[in-house]
Structure 1
Amino acid sequence: MPQQNVRSIIIPDELICISDDEDMTITKLGELIAKHKNLITNRYKVLKDAYMNMYPNLTWQDKEDWKPDNRVTVNFAKYLVDTFNGYFIGIPIKVKSDDKKVTDYLDMLDSYNDIEDNNAELSRFCSIYGKGYELYTNGESGDVSIFHLDPTQGFMVYDNTYEQHPRYFVTYYYDSKKIMHGSVLTQTDVWPFTDDGGLHYLEDEFRPHNFSDVPATEFLENESRMAVFESVYSLIIGYNKALSEKLNDVDAFADAYLKILGPELTNEMLRDMRDHRVISFKGDMSESPVEVGFLEKPNADGTQENALNRMERLIYQVSMIANINDENFGNSSGIAMAYKLQSMSNLAKAKERKFTPGLNRRYRIIFSNPVNSMTESDWIRLSYHFTRNIPQNLFEETQIAQNLSGIVSQPTQLSVLSIVDDPQKEIERIDEEQQEKNDAIVNQFFGNNPVYPNQGQEVGKDEQEQ
């Protein structure tokens, strides 16, 4: 049987473009869909299988029946994706605006679309495939609906300029009869199409989508559109193969042959030895010595363990994602913990820089729809706050906040506290509580005495002077 060698072949992500002088004819649409299907087969399926714990060693050619053939996997891909996304977006993104009208609309839009779950799933798609998509439509209630899609469900078509402006978004699916249905979203309209014997547009169903641009957004994990585990994919395959072979060695040792040199054994003698677990030979051992023992394979346990440990360290080191289950990780504190998370923090900051333009495009397009009271330019005043999901030492934070008193502004002082989401709103709550306390003190001394219409505020001052 040929040797099963480790292979890591995932074709790079390929930007799908169309030149400025080309239109999305049905012929061009067929070409782009064929290109996308090739990406699904040779890229997206490989990445999804890794996340779903379907690694190549599970489908390698079977060994001979008499050889141990264990197939085990350690799903590093899912661990890296879920750990990183818990760190990156485990605490939801805060979208803020100084305009109360915009804030109120965002609250409604977020509730209507379960935006926290949408953002989390979108971020997960980005980590698995290197990118993810959002689609915007007018919902049944008249409000804007937001849907997240993975790259197997559609693709963005860009122009071929260096600015890479979106020109079309294509989404399609197959029904139970294997007939393709889909839509091309242009900058103004929706063009449905089908392939029920031949790919063609359903021109009678063309309609405007009421957005100012292609109503879809591509969110990126990084500029190269690489999955978080893609750089260590071959290491994961090698680890799973080495671990499987180690289990095979354990089985081979348990099934070791009994070696008896000297006498010739009958089947009855062998059965007796097996049943009673006793070996007894008669005769003069000096003339014809008997040697009894087990045939053993050379033991490479130390080499195997070293290889497994090294590959595991490299998986976390190269992926830049911390192994938070390391027994020494939880014992770190302060600056030591910060250094352990530094690489993952850099990775998250890079993703944040790519996520922010996606959010800007999301709200620019949504605000352009006439179903809401927003204007397209209202998105400019939005700000996004990303919070890393790490254990916090509240006692240490309060000490730092107290030490900053008189040195920085009160909003900056409160921003040190992880339990404070919005420092400005927290200041307003503090002022309200203080005002309630002052009112309670005034009412305690002066009550509702009509002589003091201002609830004793000015009178209280005069009384103090007396």
Structure 2
Amino acid sequence: MAIEDNQMAYYSSLPYPNQRTVHMLSGRRFSLDSNKQYKMPAELFDVIKDDPVKLGELATKFIEKHQALQVPRLLTLYRYYIGDNDIHYWDSEKADNRADNRIASGFAHFITEIKTGYRFGNDIKFQYNDQAETSETDEDNLKDLINEFNSKNDESYHEKIMGKNLSIMGRAYELVYVRENTNEVALRPIDPANAFVVYDSSIEQHSLFGVYYYNVNFNEQDYWYTVIYTDTNIFIYKPTSNFDGQLILSDNQEHSFDAVPLTEYINNDERMGDWEYKLDTIDSIDKSKSEMANSQEDFSNAMLMITGDIDVPKTPWVGADGQPLTDKDGNIIYRKTPEINTRQSKIWLKPALVKNGINDNSQIVQPTASYLTKELNSDGWKLYIDALSMEIHKDTNTPDTSDANFASNASGVAMSYKLWGNDQERSNQESLYTRGLMRRLRLLGNYWQALGSIKNAGMIENINPIYTPNMPKNNTEIMQTVTALVNTGKVSDQTIREQIEPITGVSNDAEQQRIDEQDENDNNNNPFNNVFPRKPDEPQDDNGDDTDNSNHDEVTDNETDEKPSD
């Protein structure tokens, strides 16, 4: 996300455009429309879908709402991810001579990185359903097309960016398009602050059109670009100086995706980020840490309180000519309060003689010097911050890696229980993510069918995305499990190879290919293969070995019945 390209939107994420004006923990953060999903009747859209002018006017209305109501929320969440929390703009109302530290915690970044790595740290596998009634040639062709597409578009990294956007802002967008002057399909993640999809009002919520608008600031001038995607066309408009400027068509291109090529992914049904509902707790920690730092600094700069007299040379008042001032009797006038050099490490005190005006008695007051401070309850402060931190980890299902007991027990069962809550959340999010993945694959299938690369786009429905959580591995425990499976004698070699893939890093298909190549090399390099060739009518057992079962059984029986000699 390039904040510098849309500074107006960045500052709109603050309640006011000036610094230190946020009243933290003072109520609702976002408007009710800040996370609204855009819909409209399909029959009204069908009337204007092929008219670039009216379509541009409709899109501009949605852009205005998106920029004014939704972008501030998205930018606020992104600010927290990069450590620019609201504490930096807090209206603390502190005096100028008081410490006013602003310390932002990194919880948002930590939670997003942990969850994104856990969900997408391992590559998603696109497995073809072997039960599908498809020829092996067509199946292999589709697999090759998908593998080539994923390789050229760095699909593995693309999923991580999508996962990060989902974790931060609760939604993510990707665009499928054809590279210029080629028939090659490409994939690109789109910043949620620069895109939205409008759906119909039916229960199916079909995509009517998608809008991608963004700003380029060049030579102190803003250039706003807008592209509208329908299920058949791509409308490209000339850049304007404002996001709500009048859209004038620049180019109109047809596409063969047979659906809107801009896809929206959601993190959950509420379209909320992984830590969005804990923003108040994050702010509480930021305020507590900042106030603790302020108290420490104020303690260092505490006011020195002195009772009694200070034993320092008297300092005369000096006139404009630099000479000491005198009274009418010619006596030098001294300051009543002696000057104190605060840079000195010592101050000499002496008892003070205080006269009692009533009895004309004098009283000697012993001198004292101490700093005027308030007591710091550091233990209570730490307990409060630790409780807030624990609450964040618990409510966001994020393991606390600073917990002394987290890594002390490395067994897989113990680790599974620590990640149990996260796994429940991950299961739901994978289901939602699969919806987006399948929509991507359907777009590709429609295009490849139109291009003649595959016979039937319906083959895409046989693809199953497989997710593998990226969690700490215990190789010893994995090998023990695999050994137990092998000893049962009821598990196939393919399953065994899939189980040990986390250790070897080699997929089942690649491992099978290596085994076949190794067997072929062993057969070619075996000098006895041609010395004792097998006769054409010679039987083979299941392992391909030459046998004579009857003779073998007879010899075995004779050997068994034979008694040992004395």
Aligned-residue offset at 1:407: 3.7
**Selected match of 1:248 from 289, 294, 307:** 294
Aligned counterpart in structure 2 of residue 313 of structure 1, from 377, 390, 397: 390
1:416 pairs with 499, 504, 508, which one?
Answer: 499
**1:398 to partner: Cα distance:** 1.3
Q: Distance in 2 between matches of 1:41 and 1:86?
A: 26
* Alpha-carbon shift at residue 283 of structure 1 (Å): 6.8
Q: Which moved more, 1:146-155 or 1:285-294?
A: 285-294
Contact residue 178 and residue 184 of structure 2 kept, 8 A? yes
Which one-letter code corresponds to 1:82 in the other structure?
A: E
Whether the aligned pair in 1 keeps the contact of 2:25 and 2:283 (CA below 8 Å) is: yes
Q: Which residue is 2:481 aligned to? A: 400
The CA deviation at 1:92 is 1.3
Query: In the alignment, which residue of structure 2 is the partner of 1:136?
Result: 176
Structure 2 CA distance for aligned equivalents of residues 109 and 37 of structure 1: 34
Cα separation, 2, equivalents of 1:145 and 1:371: 15
Choose from 383, 388, 394 the match for 2:464: 383
1:17 corresponds in structure 2 to 39
CA contact (8 A) 1:179 1:194 kept: no
Distance in 2 (CA, whole Å) between partners of 1:294 and 1:13 is 52
Pick from 415, 424, 434 the counterpart of residue 346 of structure 1.
424
In the alignment, structure 1 residue 146 sits paired with structure 2 residue 187 = yes
SS where residue 451 of structure 2 aligns? coil
Q: Partner residue of 1:190?
A: 234
Residue 231 of structure 2 aligns to a residue whose secondary structure is coil
Q: Structure 1 57/383 Cα, relative in aligned 2: closer, same or farther at 3 Å?
A: same
Q: 1:444 to 1:312 in 2, by over 3 A?
A: same
* 1:263 maps to which of 309, 318, 329: 309
Cα distance in 2, alignment partners of residues 415 and 450 from structure 1: 38
Partner of 2:381: 304
Calculate the TM-score normalised by the size of structure 2: 0.74
If the length of structure 1 is used for normalisation, what is the TM-score?
0.89
Q: CA deviation at 1:169?
A: 0.6
Moved more, 122-131 or 403-412: 403-412
Instruction: Please identify, of 191-200 and 367-376, the stretch whose mean Cα deviation from structure 2 is larger.
Output: 191-200
Does the 8 A contact of 2:350 with 2:366 survive in 1? no
Structure 2: how far apart are the matches of 1:65 and 1:156?
Answer: 48
Q: Which residue of 2 aligns with 1:52?
A: 82
352-361 or 277-286: bigger deviation = 277-286
Q: Which residue of 1 aligns with 2:453?
A: 373
Farther-moved stretch of structure 1 (404-413 vs 84-93): 404-413
- Aligned-partner Cα distance in 2 for 1:412–1:165: 40
Matches within 5 A, 1:441-456: 443-446=526-529, 448-449=530-531
* Conserved 8 A contact 1:193-1:199: no
Alignment check: 8 A CA contact 1:130 1:226 kept: yes
- The one-letter amino acid of 2:149's match is L
Mark the CA change 1:382 to 1:258 in structure 2 (over 3 Å): closer, same or farther: same
Unaligned segments of structure 1, at least 5 residues: none
User: Structure 2 vs 1, CA of residues 101 and 353 (structure 1 numbering), >3 Å: closer, same or farther?
Assistant: same
Deviation (angstroms), 1:372: 5.8
1:461 aligned onto 2:538: no
Q: Please, which runs of 5 or more residues in structure 2 have no aligned partner?
A: 1-19, 49-53, 131-138, 316-337, 355-362, 553-566
Of residues 113, 122, 126 in structure 1, which corresponds to 2:162?
Answer: 122
Alpha-carbon spacing, 1:294–1:404, altered in 2? closer, same or farther (3 Å): same
Q: What amino acid sits opposite 1:159 in the alignment?
A: D
Query: Residues 263 and 277 of structure 1: is their aligned pair in 2 closer, same or farther, counting only changes over 3 Å?
Result: closer
CA distance in 2, matches of 1:292, 1:220: 64
Q: Once the 2 structures are TM-superposed, how far is the Cα of residue 460 of structure 1 from its aligned partner? A: 7.1
Rounded to whole Å, the distance in 2 between the matches of 1:248 and 1:67 is 8
Structure 1 pair 30–284 and aligned structure 2 pair: CA distance change class (3 A): closer
- State the Cα distance separating 1:109 from its structure 2 match: 0.6
Q: Deviations over 1:252-304 (max 9, x none)?
A: 11112222122267686654674242434257898322232221213232332
How far does residue 233 in structure 1 lie from its aligned partner after superposition? 0.9
Q: 1:139 to 1:226 in 2, by over 3 A?
A: same
Could you say which residue in structure 1 is the equivalent of 2:25?
6
Structure-2 residue corresponding to 1:89 = 120
CA distance in 1 between counterparts of 2:297 and 2:145 reads: 64
String of CA shifts for 1:228-247, please: whole Å, max 9, x gaps: 11011111111111100000
Is 2:360 aligned against 1:275? no
CA shift in 2, pair 1:325/1:58, >3 Å: same
SS at match of 1:119: helix
CA contact (8 A) 1:10 1:46 kept: no
Using the alignment, how far apart are the partners of 2:161 and 2:516 within structure 1? 38
**1:165 matched to which residue of 2?**
206
Root-mean-square deviation (CA, aligned residues, Å) is: 3.0
Contact 2:352-2:367 at 8 Å conserved across structures = no
Count of residues in Structure 1 that have an aligned counterpart in Structure 2: 461
Q: Which residue of 1 aligns with 2:140?
A: 100
Moved more, 141-150 or 404-413: 404-413
CA displacement at 1:251 relative to structure 2:
0.7
Higher RCO, 1 vs 2 (CA within 8 Å, ≥6 residues apart): 1
Contact 2:311 2:349 in 1 (8 A): no
Sequence identity percentage? 24
The alignment partner of 2:25 has SS state of coil
- Could you tell me how far 1:96 is from its partner in structure 2? 2.2
- Shift of the 372–399 alpha-carbon distance from structure 1 to 2, 3 Å rule, reads farther
Structure 1: how far apart are the matches of 2:146 and 2:57?
41
C-alpha displacement at 1:113, in angstroms?
0.9
Distance 1:149 1:2 in 2: 31
1: CA distance, partners of 2:496 / 2:163: 31
Q: 1:237 aligns with which of 278, 283, 286?
A: 283
Is residue 180 of structure 1 aligned with residue 199 of structure 2? Answer: no
Moved more, 121-130 or 62-71: 62-71
Q: Tell me the alpha carbon deviations over residues 60-88 of structure 1, each in whole angstroms, 9 at most, x when there is no partner.
A: 23632110011111121111111110111
Residues in 1 aligned to 2:495 and 2:418: alpha-carbon distance in whole angstroms: 26
